[in-house]
Structure 1
């Protein structure tokens, strides 16, 4: 979208503006204003001509200008119909010295998850990478990952989807746990049951993650010992993605709602909530706790130093999980793969 067309939309954001006023504001002729209005109409914008001037009556469902229109957060939107990786593009922008840019795409063909796992984002999703330059030490960077998880979860719940967060950053939709058959006397029917407590634990609801995955988040950073140079928070949301193209264990807003979600509104709420949270990092933990699926659960966290098993009792700044083990000790886990467990 041209700068003139973007400026025209900005001018119309507050209500009807007549042609002469638009021409003066944009520094172009009235004929040029009309040409830009026609171009917007061809691009799917509902621009009406009223007695008071031009007004925006309808906004496209998705796209860079659509997300930027009415956005109450200081992010520049760079939109792509299809891109290999929004994180890769954000790193290019970081090298150019940019900041507060949201790279947004309808489709992502070569994304990456944790541990360099592949992440393909089919058309219909919301794939965005936020390029930030927070004035914080690198050790504080995990809190921005938590903020992104909260922002996605709040937007999903506003859209009618009961999303929760599994530590640290998976946004899930839980499924009802299957009933466990009971033997005589009310004990679980299991001929091979062992006395070992580890053998009496399985992933909750039969899934290591504790629910169907709605969104994944990957944060990357570059900096010195005492200061972050840039931070990229990559967010991949299964929005209007049909069940037939979702991987096993995943769900989408479409699948949960039974109808498409307004991706423009969802993306705006995500960016606005994230911006609100990052302005007060100390508030992020309370917001994360409010939507956590992990706290109060019995968990197994695979860490480089071995498995940590126990009850997840809290999260501490900048995002460490506190696990109370069976011997009463509290372990602070800063990184690892977390499973929700339940007794067999």
Structure 2
């Protein structure tokens, strides 16, 4: 049994050998489960990311979803992705790996994607019923050949396999720590820490949305979760949604 020193997250853990998607499974049970329940699977058959993109989820990776029920206004929901990314980079650091966060929901190592985060939920304009926070972290899983240029695993970085249960324990403990700060309203601290790990702030970026493409320099992230871009004419623009690509110098 996994012994966790946590207050909320991980008090109940549902382990599944194989599932279509931990997020979909968690959403089905969210209304009946207590806050902090975690769904973790060895394999996802139809793992997903933003815009319903597929997420390759073979055995060896950490595929999990957390059910949260914060008694907060929905305007604060975007920050859940921030605390998830912080928990991931701190977990990576515990194993000697330096991670960077690419807005809005990716964690990079050596300029390649090691983790994706997907937040889904059920809420109205003024209240939250539940949020399902999905995290897919490449640990010991093999990266498909066609993704080697853009994806990486912890095993690839370190050169050896890592006990998956130790990564799982560390991530849950760090999620719990940041979630408690989130519930306590420490939003400024969360944003400042997120910015310290940002892979985009201060860099030229290209953002592709559903209807437009924007090129500029990422200068900040606002407390509503949007990315602030300085355009070539000096104007500032808030970006709430889109795919970010960046040039590394």
TM-score by shorter chain over 0.5 = yes
Aligned twin of 1:220: 120
Aligned twin of 1:230: 130
Aligned twin of 1:278: 179
Is 1:167 paired with 2:106?
no
Contact 2:31 2:130 survives alignment (8 Å): no
Contact 1:126 1:263 survives alignment (8 Å): yes
Question: Residue 177 of structure 2: SS of its match in structure 1?
Answer: helix
Question: Residue 269 of structure 1: SS of its match in structure 2?
Answer: helix
Contact 2:6 2:176 survives alignment (8 Å): no
Written as runs of structure 1 = structure 2, the 5 A alignment for 1:1-344 is 65=1, 68-74=2-8, 75=10, 76-174=12-110, 211-243=111-143, 247-248=147-148, 249-281=150-182, 282=187, 283-341=189-247
Relative distance call for 1:113 and 1:244 in structure 2 (3 A) is closer
* CA RMSD, 1 decimal: 1.8
Contact 1:322 1:332 survives alignment (8 Å): yes
Q: Give the Å deviation of 1:301.
A: 1.2
Q: Give the Å deviation of 1:256.
A: 0.6
Equivalents in 1 of 2:86, 2:17: separation in Å? 26
Q: Give the Å deviation of 1:244.
A: 5.3
Contact 1:73 1:272 survives alignment (8 Å): no
Contact 1:243 1:255 survives alignment (8 Å): no
Equivalents in 2 of 1:275, 1:316: separation in Å? 23
Larger Rg: 1
Q: Which runs of 5+ in 2 are unaligned?
A: none
Deviations 1:102-136 (A, max 9, x none): 11122211111111111230101101101000112
Bigger proportion of residues as helix: 1
Question: Residue 72 of structure 2: SS of its match in structure 1?
Answer: coil
Contact 2:4 2:173 survives alignment (8 Å): no
Scaled by the length of structure 1, what TM-score is found?
Answer: 0.66
Equivalents in 1 of 2:163, 2:6: separation in Å? 17
Q: Which runs of 5+ in 1 are unaligned?
A: 1-64, 175-210
Q: Give the Å deviation of 1:243.
A: 4.2
